[in-house]
């Protein structure tokens, strides 16, 4: 397999926003000698190109690589007591921030998302709000019905979704679409009453198990007492960074799970 073909396959897979692995045989002893240096490109969709010249182990290696793609960490796989070693290099696009809702919070959030080098996607069903003139910092702007638009978009463990829509009906539809998806972060804006109403409706009318809501950061953001759209955007992006970098800051959602009586705006008490 030529280097040009390998690079072309890598670029095609990354352009499709798939988690991608370049798999290379780096140690090959004894009966595996002929496989040394052989390579394949694998993505979450399966084999892209190349071959490892290891017919007896190809299926096992491919299965192991798919698990590594889920974990997202490059590593070396060892087989046959060390006679065969395969380096699995995971390649990612920059993390993707999907902002569902093109209101004032979404506008501020898009600017901050680009400042931290995320690919920023803005979705809304209103072209008068979701447009390039208004969201000049966004990488992509998609106008259409929110649930359908979100459902067509490629989502993976490198995706962060912020639901900052204008109404709880949109939250319900979007959560139904992504609650079981592999995205790394789901945040939802709203008052305690709005969030409770969304969760209750999803549980009673759609059969969503209550434990699934634990992955939803709602109310969205870190517990810094944010009130204005800009402040709310800052607390959202801070929560995303906190998760992305493994920080230890307290999220507002976790604080309210421990004590539901906590006010969202402590400065007004």
Q: Give pLDDT, residue 259.
A: 76
Please list the ranges in the chain whose pLDDT falls under 50.
Answer: 269
Q: Give pLDDT, residue 85.
A: 96
Q: Give pLDDT, residue 252.
A: 86
Would you tell me how many other CB atoms lie within 10 Å of the CB of residue 10?
18
Query: Which domains are present in the chain?
Result: 3-91 (no CATH), 96-262 (3.40.50.720)
Q: Give pLDDT, residue 105.
A: 97
Reported pTM: 0.75
What would the pLDDT profile of 111-144 be if each residue is shown by its tens digit? 999 999 999 999 999 999 999 999 999 999 999 9
> Which tokens belong to 261?
């009586």
């Amino acid at each position: 397999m030529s280097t040009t073909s390998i690079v072309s396959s890598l670029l095609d897979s990354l352009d499709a926003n798939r988690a991608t692995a370049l798999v290379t045989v780096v140690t090959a002893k004894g009966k595996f000698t002929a496989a040394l240096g052989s390579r394949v490109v694998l993505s979450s969709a399966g084999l892209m190109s190349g071959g490892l010249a290891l017919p007896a182990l190809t299926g096992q290696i491919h299965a192991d690589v798919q698990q590594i793609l889920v974990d997202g960490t490059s590593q070396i796989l060892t087989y046959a007591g060390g006679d065969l070693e395969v380096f699995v290099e995971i390649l990612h696009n920059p993390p993707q921030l999907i902002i569902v809702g093109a209101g004032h919070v979404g506008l501020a959030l898009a600017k901050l998302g680009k400042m931290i080098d995320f690919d920023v996607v803005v979705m809304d069903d209103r072209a008068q709000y979701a447009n390039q003139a208004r969201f000049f910092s966004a990488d992509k702007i998609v106008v259409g019905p929110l649930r359908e638009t979100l459902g067509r978009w490629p989502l993976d463990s490198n995706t962060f979704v912020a639901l900052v829509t204008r109404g709880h009906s949109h939250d319900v539809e979007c959560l139904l679409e992504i609650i079981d998806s592999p995205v790394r972060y789901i945040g939802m804006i709203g008052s305690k009453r709005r969030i409770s109403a969304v969760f209750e409706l999803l549980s009673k009318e759609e059969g969503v198990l209550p434990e699934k809501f634990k992955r939803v950061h709602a109310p969205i953001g870190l517990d810094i007492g944010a009130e204005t759209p800009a402040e709310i955007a800052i607390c959202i992006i801070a929560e995303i960074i906190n998760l992305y970098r493994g920080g230890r800051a307290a999220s507002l959602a976790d604080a309210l799970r421990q004590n539901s009586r906590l006010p969202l705006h402590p400065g007004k008490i």
